[in-house]
Structure 1
Amino acid sequence: MSLDTLLLNPWLWLGLFILLAYTIEAITGFGSIVIALSLGALLLPIPAMLPVLVPLNICMSGYLAWRNRQHIHWPTLLKLILPLMLIGMLLGYGLRPWLSGQLLKALFGVLVLWFAGRELLRMFRGHISPPHPSWLSRSLTLGAGLTHGLFASGGPLLVYALAGTRLDKSQLRATLISVWFTLNSSMTVLFLLDGSLLPNLPRIASYLPLLVIGVVLGEILHHRLNEQRFRQVVYSLLVVTGVLLLGKAVL
């Protein structure tokens, strides 16, 4: 395979995006799948990437969930988040075959734009979200499950759904990590059943070292970077990526 052919291989670029995404997650604590999927969607179909990115995420979320298990707020996890998100995830998974690749990219572009734009505004204004009414939190949590089933990216809506929660930072982080481990494990089982997991196992294995390298790099850079400024750069990158995704979907 020539160098030009290699450089034109979108799966090679996805590997670079995975390395970048897990480095950023180790620095900031958010968004490995959102970042890798949003950049990868510029080159590859979303349904083709999910059976690779979702199992990869289990490795990190499983390790972090175990390490932070003492901080998990079990009533919130078991009574509020998981029932609604599992229902929403199954709905989103069931909808994916009925949606065209272009429509999926457009919807994901809107989600990325909303998430990154909202975070940038919140950072510049120093805004703290007030608590939501119970019905709105539950509706948003169900919607987060739906977006997780569609894009394995329920984080933006779920974090918004839990705005103003009484959980402290450690409890919220540990509870959210447990959500991703549970949902992504469930999605991996669905990928196994629908036949899309096994053909991707060699690719998943080849990307695993990138995950480890990204985490190590992120841990090193975490202590050397201004996290606030770095988050602004990442959210700005996501805004641009969301615009590009919408542009590709429309054109």
Structure 2
Amino acid sequence: MALAPYALGVFILLAYTLEAITGFGSVVIALSLGALLLPIDQLLPILVPLNICMTGYLVHRHWRLIDRRLLLGTLLPGMVAGTLLGYWLLAYLDTQILKVAFGTLIAWFAGRELWRLRQNHALAVRPTWLTRCITLAAGLSHGLFASGGPLLVYGLAGTHLDKARLRATLVTVWFTLNSLLTIAFLLDGRLLPALPQVFSYAPLLLLGVWLGERLHRRIDERHFRIAIYILLLVTGILLLAPWRLP
């Protein structure tokens, strides 16, 4: 598809603008939309290094807002262990199975959140052991798809962090884990061939962060989340369809 590189650029700009607003979603959205055009294993070595560039900037800018107790006590231990396990499993899974599993995860998460927002259900506080289990599952998803955000946000339901502190804590998680994945891609030989595309898309990060920082302060969070979840639901359904765009 001749327009695929340009379409991927639009998806990347959209996705990284959204992560600058919320603290998660750049890889999951870019990968969801990009998987309609290219195999997941080809997209990951492009999207993951781009993510560490953007999250590194956001961590540096907002480090005072990070909830270190939550980050070091709950999030990083489970996410790192799950990510390593998911990366190891990646070599044994078929591409089509990955696409279906990823589409199922995205459609479930988006549908659940849309239902919750419509019903105005408050997020219940979970016991610590359940949060840790969900965090481990989020790490597994991150190792497979570099997209642990949906499950991690689900696992953090009921926390009382405001949107600024939640964003700062989440981007620190993604910066840490995606740095590990980038090293893994370098060691397994997938990073170097993808570097020309990484550099060609890098300027879009500047625009995405600039837009996201401004929208983070101005946008109505409820309406924003509804729009994102609808986009993810449609994308998840498309990934589950038995056909593929040419």
Q: TM-score, normalised by structure 1?
A: 0.89
C-alpha contact (below 8 Å) 2:24/2:170 kept by paired residues:
no
Change (3 A) 1:249 1:180: farther
Q: 1:50 aligns with which of 35, 44, 53?
A: 44
CA distance in 1 between partners of 2:131 and 2:211 (Å): 36
Matched with 1:18 is: 12
Q: How far off its partner does 1:249 sit?
A: 7.3
Change (3 A) 1:237 1:70: same
C-alpha contact (below 8 Å) 2:23/2:170 kept by paired residues:
no
Q: How far off its partner does 1:216 sit?
A: 2.9
C-alpha contact (below 8 Å) 2:107/2:233 kept by paired residues:
yes
Q: How far off its partner does 1:12 sit?
A: 2.9
CA distance in 2 between partners of 1:225 and 1:240 (Å): 22
Q: How many residues align?
A: 244
- Does the alignment pair 1:92 with 2:101? no
Write the letter of the residue equivalent to 1:77: L
CA distance in 2 between partners of 1:223 and 1:84 (Å): 31
CA distance in 1 between partners of 2:216 and 2:178 (Å): 26
C-alpha contact (below 8 Å) 2:100/2:239 kept by paired residues:
yes
Matched with 1:208 is: 202
Write the letter of the residue equivalent to 2:131: S
C-alpha contact (below 8 Å) 2:99/2:240 kept by paired residues:
yes
Q: Identity percentage over the alignment?
A: 61
Gaps of 5+ in 1: none
Matched with 1:179 is: 173
C-alpha contact (below 8 Å) 2:40/2:95 kept by paired residues:
yes
C-alpha contact (below 8 Å) 1:105/1:249 kept by paired residues:
no
Deviation digits for residues 106-129 of structure 1, max 9, x if unmatched?
010011111211221222122221
Change (3 A) 1:69 1:27: closer
Residues 42-191 of structure 1 mapped to structure 2, 5 A cutoff: 42-191=36-185
Matched with 1:30 is: 24
CA distance in 1 between partners of 2:22 and 2:55 (Å): 15
C-alpha contact (below 8 Å) 2:23/2:166 kept by paired residues:
no
Write the letter of the residue equivalent to 2:192: L
CA distance in 1 between partners of 2:96 and 2:54 (Å): 30
Q: Which has the larger radius of gyration?
A: 1
Residues 192-203 of structure 1 mapped to structure 2, 5 A cutoff: 192-203=186-197
CA distance in 2 between partners of 1:58 and 1:199 (Å): 18
Write the letter of the residue equivalent to 1:209: P
Deviation digits for residues 78-135 of structure 1, max 9, x if unmatched?
2221111111001100111111111100010011111211221222122221111222
CA distance in 2 between partners of 1:170 and 1:221 (Å): 12
C-alpha contact (below 8 Å) 1:26/1:214 kept by paired residues:
yes
C-alpha contact (below 8 Å) 2:54/2:209 kept by paired residues:
no
Write the letter of the residue equivalent to 1:240: V
Superposed CA RMSD in Å reads 2.1
Deviation digits for residues 146-167 of structure 1, max 9, x if unmatched?
0000011111111111222244
C-alpha contact (below 8 Å) 1:71/1:170 kept by paired residues:
yes
Change (3 A) 1:137 1:221: closer
Gaps of 5+ in 2: none
- Does the alignment pair 1:232 with 2:226? yes
